[in-house]
């Protein structure tokens, strides 16, 4: 199953970021996103790309629902 996951940006290097959720870090490209991205922002990461920006409240609610639905192995 493919799913986009809300993750918080922890570092930025040009068009590449590292984002984290629940201690899991992933690298992703910003090339598909027109928004200005800063450390601390929440993004939807899918298949190695940031595909949208969202506010923290929306990110936390989405993560809460995902944790209820998916097992821990599904999210990693």
Considering the entire predicted model, what is its pTM?
0.85
Q: What is the enclosing helix (H) or strand (E) of 25?
A: strand 24-29
d(CA 2, CA 73): 13
The SS3 of residue 1 is coil
Q: Domain containing 27 — which CATH number?
A: 2.30.30.140
Q: Which token pair is 21? A: 């959720």
Tally of CA atoms within 13 A in the half-sphere of 5 that contains its CB: 22
In a domain, 76, yes or no: no
| pLDDT tens-digit map of 18-74 | 999 999 999 999 999 999 999 999 999 999 999 999 999 999 999 999 888 876 665
Domain span at residue 38 reads 5-69
- Phi then psi for 66, rounded to 5 degrees? -65, -40
Q: Please state the domain count of the chain.
A: 1
């Amino acid at each position: 199953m493919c799913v986009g996951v809300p993750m918080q940006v922890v570092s930025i290097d040009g068009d590449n970021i590292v984002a984290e959720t629940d201690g899991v870090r992933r690298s992703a490209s910003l090339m598909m996103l027109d928004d200005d991205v800063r450390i601390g922002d929440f993004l939807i990461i899918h298949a190695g790309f940031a595909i949208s920006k969202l506010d923290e409240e929306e990110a936390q609610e989405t993560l809460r629902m995902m944790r209820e639905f998916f097992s821990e192995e599904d999210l990693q």
